[in-house]
Structure 1
Amino acid sequence: MRKTTHQIGLSVSLLALAVAQAAFAAESTSDTTEPQGQDLTLAPFVIKGDVLGQASDEEVRTYPGSRSVVEAEDLKKASVRGLDDALQRVPGVKIFDETGTGVLPQLSVRGLYESRSGRVQALADGVPLALGPYGQTSLSLFPQTLATVERIDVVRGGAAVQYGPNNVGGVINFISPPIPEQWETTLQERVTFAPGGRQLFDSYIGTGGRITDSFALQLDLNTIDGEYGREHSDTAVQNYRLRGQWDIDEDRSLSFGVQRYIADMDLAGALSVADYRDDPRQSTRDLDRFEGDTDRVWGTYSQYLGSFGPFDSVELSWTNFAHHSYRNFIVGLPFTPDATPATLQDAPRDFRVWGSEPRLSLSIDGDTVSQTWVLGARLVKEDVDFKVNRDNLSTGAHTVFRDWTFDDEGKAAYISNAIGLLDGRLTITPGVRYEHASMEYEGKVNGVAQKPQEKTAEEWLPGLSVGYQLNDEWFFYADAQRSLRMPQITSIVFDGDVAAELAWNYETGVRFSPSNNLRLEAGLYRIDFKDQIEYNSRTTRFENLGSTRHQGIETQVFWTPETLPLLDLHASYAWLEAEQRSGQFAGNEVPFSSEHQLAVDGRYRFAEHWTYSLDGLYVSSAFTDAANTEDENAAASAGKIPSYWLWNTALEREFKMQDGSVLTTSAGVSNLFDRQYYFRGIDTSPWGRQPAPGRTLTLGVNYRF
């Protein structure tokens, strides 16, 4: 039985009203006046030493590690179909796009891949997005939509001490637009047209701003409805979110939010080789679909505490978050694309998660040496109900195949010290994080009770980063850190000795900015992954069997020619060598890892209010199994995935009205040359060819007033 609740949403709504009333009461005694005629936005309080910060240009240029930001102008392009699509311009990030909507992202960073982005540490404004930050790291429910995100911060190294676990490949933070200073409303409609008369409608209404001098609210309503380009692809997404910020006084602030997200969609699934060649836009898996919803609430209290002892300033930040989530994949079995299904399987999972993280920053502003100490802790509790039900389509017989419950608790503490030398040009930041997770399991398989299990994992995770600003042109960095991912909930149901997955990450790189219109970046990295968890079918146990090494080069160049100041050019290249280091297939490539990835894009502004963009992406071939099978087998469950080139283009026109409002129209074509390419091994449709999205046309209009 599906479980739903509205208790979180109701309690947060009451909390928001209470906070608003308190803010109004405080405002009634204030003699400050509202600023007039200023185009400002409210930015949340960020303590010193926060690794992510606000992802400003200065923070990114002087960050002691690999870091990229997908800016707002890149997300707004009509040729961008989803948040995962926008990430493809970031070196080292690869996506496996099965829908073209971004509802179920498949993200891989530096060759670290697992179904539903299981090896990506994803955050929304610094708050974990995973269904279970410790026990279920995959994004099989992804409560983010393109219209509600302003930019994406991708930190591929140096963040393990403050942000964990599951940060072997780095951290991806989806950043919301700041709440406007003056009240502002945005209406947006995007329609994507695909062959076969299929359309997908993306509708957005956002309104918000200051209610008083110190209190602001932002309401976002976003729906996605239609078909995403193939048969059996009906999609319905609703994303409702309320955010607020209360500047209590000069030293204290509170930011908070509540969200309701619902997703229902048909899954077109993979095709046999013959069906793919006949028509890649068809579907032969008409039973497969997905449904899910989540109620989320979060809040951060920040306060400047003044000076204390040797510290010139002390700042406190305390974040709390909770969510109640449900997700279910309904599929026909067997997985063979052209087989007649004999069984209908559904796998409902229910998650109740609560987390709390206080953080303290203490700064010493010395004449020759400065220091910023950051001390933090985290407590996360997860309750998970995990079921698998099967219905025989011939007899109607119903079987509860699995009925599991999990109680997880994660505790962490960390400390770091950013030491500034040479007038702040050299920063050395040592740190260490301690993780402790306990996982309890009990349940039944086919009605037979299993032995209750309890697992505990604990690790010390040291890190060190160094950043050196040689002069205005050159910045050098290096970092080393130990990272981990805890055993997942399905890894502890068998009596196996399973420890946390561990990795050492190393990086070094340089950023060179010889002028304001040119920036070059180059970095080297290596990841030694020692303990990847794998299932041993011979012993029916999960074991730490896998060891892999991922190493490579990532480069970027940003250039605005002096002779063409309205032209912005960007290119990135990533080379990856991902090798299996143990087991039967030692020396082979890691499955799903591509050796080469090249992205190029340009944007040209002309006739004052017109913008044209063109971008291309090349991804080299990849194996889909540990044996590195070259030729595709009969079931298309193994075999090499071919390389592909993609091109996208978009045109935008902005109209500025006399009343100050702005109307923007846009048109974009994704997969301009209708390149047919495919993936394999996509979660609930692992056998066959999973067609990637074909050519689509998107028309959009945005009105802001």
Structure 2
Amino acid sequence: MNRWHDVFFTMHLRILFLFALLAFTSAGVDHASAQGDGASAGAEPRQKMHYQIAPQPLNRALRDFALTSGLQVSFPDDMTLGHTSREVAGSYTPEEALSELLAGSGLSFRFTNADTVTLERAHPSSVSQAQAGDDHPSVPEAGHAGSATTSPGVKPVVVPEIVVKDVHERNEPDQESVKDIAGTVNVVTREEIQRARPKNADEMLRRIPGVNVLDEYGQGLRPNIGIRGMDPRRSKNILLLMDDVPIQPALFGDASTYYMVPIERIDHIEVIKGGASVLYSPNTQGGMINFIQKWIPTTPTFSTTNTFGSFNLFQSDTQYGGYFGNFGAQMGYLRRQSDGFRDRSKSQLDDFTLRFEANPDDRTRITTNFSYYNETTQTPGSLTPTQYRNDRTLAGKPLDEFKGQRTAVDVTASREIDAHNTAKIIVYGNVFERNWYVQDQNATTGALLQTSTNFLRKFNVFGVMPQHQFKFSLFGLDQQITSGVRYHAERLTDIQGIGTAGSKISRTTNNADLESVAYAAYTETAIRLTEAFTISPGIRWEQVNQSRETMNAVPPVGGNFRNSKTTQGLIYGTGVKYQLTPDSMLFGHVHTTFRPPTFANAVDPTSGTTQDLEAERALSSDIGLRSTIIPGVSAEVAVFRTEFRNQIVQQGSAFVNAGKTLQEGIESTVSLDWGEMVRPLQGFVTRGSITLLRPKSLFGATNGKDLPYAPRMTFYGLVGYYHPTGASIEADAMYIAQQFTDGANTQAENALGTNGAIPSYTIWNLRLNYAPPKAKWAIFAGVRNLTDESFIAQRTTASFIGIQPGEIRNFYGGVSWRF
């Protein structure tokens, strides 16, 4: 334990020393003041209106400005990074208000037409003028590009991302605020999701560097997601949230995920890697994925999107809602059905949603979500190597079926008490029932038997999360403290039965109730030591009480039992941000993470004996740089390391905290907007991300071997062209290097296909979209797995013995409209 703390504090002090050194050596970096562009002679000023915009991250302030002024504001996502706005309170023209908001940011603005403002980085001459004391520069006439401070050679910013597009979409969640966290943070934007027209969330998550997603029957209904070398199977090593509410059915008892949020409900996706904040726990050793739902449009709107594709794919997403005064309501219905690319892999999904938003006053917001999800899917099992080579669309198990139902409700209320205090509370609950009817197989030969094992599970979850945020000024700099507590309770009724293959009637062989009650308290402080240097220490306490009670009609030899176990621990760490220049930020963090024993490990399911186990603890750190190198070229690079020294592993017949593993590597993302560099190439965009990983076991017979399902290299690349008429074309590719499926790194495939390396593969996709700027309709089409790459998605054992093939080439197309 002493060695653990020594390692933690050594790395902690190294990163703090590095950032402190950079802070002092770069103290002379000046931040340019923002200016509005000058007006042509005789320009008439716009009418004044009342603005009430509090000091806040600049991207949020610009959103508030757009909503008040009715103007559209355009800028690249990374342009406002690290900037905070001044307070704007009173009567101003739009030009005056925007000049105040941008003051000190190094940004200027220009009107590209009567209703659209484009932000740019200030020309040196405007910086000089600002420093000379011109606090209120002259402003341009709407529609004029001329400027008294911008030379004719400076071209306007043209970007595909738009902050405010039209009145129907102005009520949108902020997709930039998560980047305030001092660590590696990635966002899949709403624009990316809109253009991709994805079938499921897996398609979008594969774009994120460091994320490895295993396919399962090509449906994306059972997520298998790993981050930075963590085992992706059933997403056990990450935390999955929707609007900060956990979606894993047994978060503390067994984080296996059998439900995935329909991508149609999602505005954007936030990914925080390596436990970079104590605001989130448990299971953040790989990272946290937060799906942010779409908000209700300002104006009552009916919208529908219908997609048709290969294997009788049909997706229909219909929504109606809007604001009526200070109250917003929206209802939605999603239908998704497909025969699947394999025999006996038909799926049918229905998802009903209701959302209410209320703003009783300017300081209060209340959001309520209701949802009902119903799914029936045929699961065709795995194939032998011979079956896979002859026809990878076959069904290995033609009688298996999965049924899932989920009913959920959550309420989020936030209140700005005063200029310094904000309170928020989230109350959530859900009931998830999943029944999986699985035909048995001979473990040695893989032959199908005439019996089935039926896994009948029901999860009940309830939680409350109050949070308080306190903002204050110290040494003339804005500071912030975020504190909160959480109560979370979950109950799993686990019934297992034996029946005839293909039958849903079975004889109960195991009946158990498993419960977890968890408490947490945390505080995290953002301390600004200078305008550019912020340190974010945090600490969190977790306690989990787990119990297991068996209720078998025919008790085992030792009889039925009830027993419990309590696990607790501290999570702590520090994040650091340093704004090197207005366009570059250095960031890093060192944190511990917390993963309690699962139900199966906490209390022995056979004897009822309480296992003497601690929570798995990891030491996670990274350091990286996020920068706009030149206009049109942005990049991010991060070096990361996650080390476990007490993973729960089996030794003989007992479980012990003896597992030691190390995941370390480097990941990078580069985005090129060619039109900002070469005017004739306006509309062309290139993006790429790569992860190089060294995943190692550090104990026992597997010492020095690669960890299972941890490819040493992953790559994602995209090339797109976006025409002003609304037409666009995108081609992307995903490369996954070789993966091992066991700790021994067995290379050769065995007779059943359950073991052996998974060869590397590359998947290409093509997408076409046409959405005229002022039209209320759009059409789209695409091809997934364009080259029909034959690849192994995963190798499976136990209930599914053999090879699960990846999805074959398939086509889709559709239309959307709103009014």
Report if TM-score (shorter chain) is over 0.5. yes
Structure 1 Cα separation of the partners of residues 337 and 658 of structure 2: 43
Aligned with residue 194 of structure 2, among 72, 76, 79: 76
Match of 1:115 in 2: 233
Residue 41 of structure 1 aligns to which amino acid in structure 2? R
Residues 440, 799 of structure 2: 8 Å contact kept: no
Match of 2:632 in 1: 517
Match of 1:614 in 2: 731
Match of 2:644 in 1: 529
Match of 1:15 in 2: none
Structure 1 Cα separation of the partners of residues 683 and 589 of structure 2: 36
SS at match of 2:192: helix
Residue 371 of structure 2 aligns to which amino acid in structure 1? Q
Match of 1:500 in 2: 615
Structure 2 Cα separation of the partners of residues 160 and 167 of structure 1: 9
Residues 229, 694 of structure 1: 8 Å contact kept: yes
Match of 1:415 in 2: 523
TM-score (norm 1): 0.88
Aligned with residue 283 of structure 1, among 391, 395, 411: 395
Match of 1:55 in 2: 175
Q: Matched residue pairs, number?
A: 645
Structure 1 Cα separation of the partners of residues 271 and 700 of structure 2: 32
SS at match of 1:301: strand
Structure 2 Cα separation of the partners of residues 664 and 397 of structure 1: 47
Sort the Cα spacing of 1:654 and 1:367 in 2 relative to 1 into closer, same or farther, 3 A. same
- Cα shift readout 1:618-677 (whole Å, capped 9, x = no counterpart): 110011011111101112111000000111001111246xxx651111110000000000
- Cα shift readout 1:138-186 (whole Å, capped 9, x = no counterpart): 21122x1121112111111454400111111111011112211111121
Q: Aligned-pair distance for 1:262?
A: 0.9
Residues 612, 650 of structure 1: 8 Å contact kept: yes
Aligned with residue 96 of structure 1, among 194, 198, 214: 214
Residue 696 of structure 1 aligns to which amino acid in structure 2? N
TM-score (norm 2): 0.76
- Cα shift readout 1:319-357 (whole Å, capped 9, x = no counterpart): 100011101221111266851223201111111110000
Structure 2 Cα separation of the partners of residues 394 and 243 of structure 1: 39
Sort the Cα spacing of 1:403 and 1:210 in 2 relative to 1 into closer, same or farther, 3 A. same
Match of 1:298 in 2: 410
- Cα shift readout 1:412-464 (whole Å, capped 9, x = no counterpart): 000111011222x1110111000000001111566323432211110000110
Structure 2 Cα separation of the partners of residues 92 and 256 of structure 1: 33
SS at match of 1:680: strand
Structure 2 Cα separation of the partners of residues 333 and 685 of structure 1: 7
Residues 422, 469 of structure 2: 8 Å contact kept: yes
Unaligned runs of 5+ in 1: 1-33, 45-53, 308-312
Residues 170, 297 of structure 2: 8 Å contact kept: yes
Structure 1 Cα separation of the partners of residues 346 and 249 of structure 2: 24
Q: Aligned-pair distance for 1:74?
A: 2.4
Structure 2 Cα separation of the partners of residues 481 and 76 of structure 1: 35
Matched, 1:632 2:749: yes
Residues 399, 501 of structure 2: 8 Å contact kept: no
Residues 738, 760 of structure 2: 8 Å contact kept: yes
Relative contact order (C-alpha < 8 Å, sep 6+): which is higher? 1
- Cα shift readout 1:474-505 (whole Å, capped 9, x = no counterpart): 21011011101121122233132222111110
Residues 535, 543 of structure 1: 8 Å contact kept: yes
Residue 398 of structure 2 aligns to which amino acid in structure 1? D
Aligned with residue 429 of structure 1, among 516, 536, 544: 536
Aligned with residue 243 of structure 2, among 87, 103, 125: 125
Match of 1:678 in 2: 792
Matched, 1:692 2:800: no
Match of 2:434 in 1: 327
Sort the Cα spacing of 1:397 and 1:250 in 2 relative to 1 into closer, same or farther, 3 A. closer
- The structure with more radius of gyration: 2
SS at match of 1:470: strand
Aligned residues: CA RMSD: 2.3
Match of 2:780 in 1: 666
Aligned with residue 317 of structure 2, among 164, 180, 204: 204
Matched, 1:589 2:699: no
Find runs of 4+ consecutive structure 1 residues off by over 4 angstroms: 34-40, 335-338, 392-398, 682-686
Residues 115, 683 of structure 1: 8 Å contact kept: no
Match of 2:291 in 1: 174
Structure 2 Cα separation of the partners of residues 396 and 645 of structure 1: 40
Matched, 1:459 2:588: no
- Cα shift readout 1:506-564 (whole Å, capped 9, x = no counterpart): 1100112123411111100000122322345x31x433332211001000001111221
Q: Aligned-pair distance for 1:284?
A: 2.2
SS at match of 1:490: helix
SS at match of 2:417: strand
Residues 556, 571 of structure 1: 8 Å contact kept: yes
- Report 1:76-475 matches (<5 A): 76-77=194-195, 80-142=198-260, 144-157=261-274, 159-193=276-310, 198-212=311-325, 214-306=326-418, 313-334=420-441, 339-392=447-500, 398-423=506-531, 425-443=532-550, 447-448=555-556, 449-475=559-585
Structure 2 Cα separation of the partners of residues 583 and 342 of structure 1: 40
- Cα shift readout 1:258-315 (whole Å, capped 9, x = no counterpart): 11011110012210011111100111201222111111000111111226xxxxx111
Structure 1 Cα separation of the partners of residues 500 and 700 of structure 2: 38
Q: Aligned-pair distance for 1:387?
A: 1.2
SS at match of 1:85: helix
Structure 2 Cα separation of the partners of residues 287 and 491 of structure 1: 32
Residues 491, 542 of structure 1: 8 Å contact kept: yes
Aligned with residue 604 of structure 1, among 721, 725, 741: 721
Structure 2 Cα separation of the partners of residues 246 and 633 of structure 1: 59
Structure 1 Cα separation of the partners of residues 560 and 719 of structure 2: 58
Residues 679, 692 of structure 1: 8 Å contact kept: yes
Deviates more, 1:176-185 or 1:527-536: 527-536
Structure 2 Cα separation of the partners of residues 124 and 601 of structure 1: 27
Sort the Cα spacing of 1:396 and 1:85 in 2 relative to 1 into closer, same or farther, 3 A. closer
Residues 234, 258 of structure 2: 8 Å contact kept: yes
Residues 685, 720 of structure 2: 8 Å contact kept: yes
Sort the Cα spacing of 1:115 and 1:301 in 2 relative to 1 into closer, same or farther, 3 A. same
- Cα shift readout 1:88-120 (whole Å, capped 9, x = no counterpart): 111000111122222111111111115311112
Higher helix share: 2
Seq. identity, %: 26
